[in-house]
Structure 1
Amino acid sequence: MFSKQQQKYVQSLQIKKYRQEHQRFLVEGAKSVVELLNADFEIELLLCTERFFLENEKKLKKISVEQISQSELEKSGTLQSNDAALAVVKMRENKFLVADENEFVLILDDIRDPGNLGTILRIADWYGIKKVICSENTVDFYNPKVISASMGSFSRIDVYYSIISEYIENINKNVNIEIIGTFLNSENVHRFEFPTNGYIVLGNESKGISAEVEKFITKKITIPRFGHAESLNVGIATAVVLDNLKRRE
Structure 2
Amino acid sequence: MQNIENKVVLITGASSGIGAATAKVLAAHGAKVVLSARRKDRLQQLAAEIGENAAYLASDVTRLDDMKALTALAKERFGKVDVLFANAGIMPGSSMSERKVNDWMAMIDINIKGVLNAMAAVLPEFLAQKRGHIIVTSSIAGTKSVPGNAVYAGTKHFVRAMLDSFRTESVMENTNIRTTTIYPGAIKTELLDTIAPSETKSQVEAFYQRVGLEPDVIADAVLYAIAQPDNVDVSDLAIRPSREG
Whether the TM-score (by the shorter chain) exceeds 0.5 is no
- TM-score under structure 2 normalisation? 0.35
**Which structure's CA Rg is the greater one?**
1
Could you say which structure has the higher strand fraction?
1
